[in-house]
Structure 1
Amino acid sequence: MLHLSFLPGDLRPAQPMTDEANKDAPALPHFLDQHREQLVARVTSVDSLLDKLHGTLLSQEEYEAVRAEATNQDRMRKLFIFSRSWDKTCKNKVYQALKETHPHLMMDLLEKLSGISVGS
């Protein structure tokens, strides 16, 4: 029988925090979910965003359905309809594509989120 004793001042490293330890912590909404309204209103080049997502996240049918909408706002709304089935990895792809296609908008939204001006 193995008996372990722990002495005061034991210097073994603490166990790293795992997802299990954080399972009761409330999950913060993804950036896309937090800023949906602003993204719908302010993304001006939806086609370039769709081009980045086509084939990796959007099927040909989804791509065409979004492009068929009349206005940029309607296109973004349609894109967000598809986002209901996306996991965090998928949403991260959209976030990255937005950073590449709309860097100034994303910087503005990040500044508002953090309350810190990145430009100063």
Structure 2
Amino acid sequence: MNDVNNRIFKEFTEFFDNVEKSASEISVTMAYEITMKSTISTAIIVLESEGRLEERYWNHLRVQNNILDFLYDLWVGSCHSLAADFSTIMKDLVEYDFILAESIMKERMQSA
């Protein structure tokens, strides 16, 4: 992990610790923020491991006061949605599960 990922991990840990301390019940908004910050953290690790982000962009992240908050604010302020990607993932999962189920059924029919 590079220094940006290390900072993001530390920031997420601090963020989550603060959430646990301050709220006996987590609101929907807070649950969304937890989920998205976790997803952002993972996405940044993937970008680094796959070398898909140029050094100048890593440097841009390094100068941010709180990288995770910065990325979360960018996400919330954008018009992007995970719905399109999520629907593709769900389609792939359903198709994969169907193929497995179909294969099991064929094996059972041949055994009978």
Structure 2 length as normaliser, TM-score? 0.29
The higher relative CO (CA closer than 8 Å, separation ≥ 6) is in 2
Higher helix share: 2
Q: Which structure's CA Rg is the greater one?
A: 1
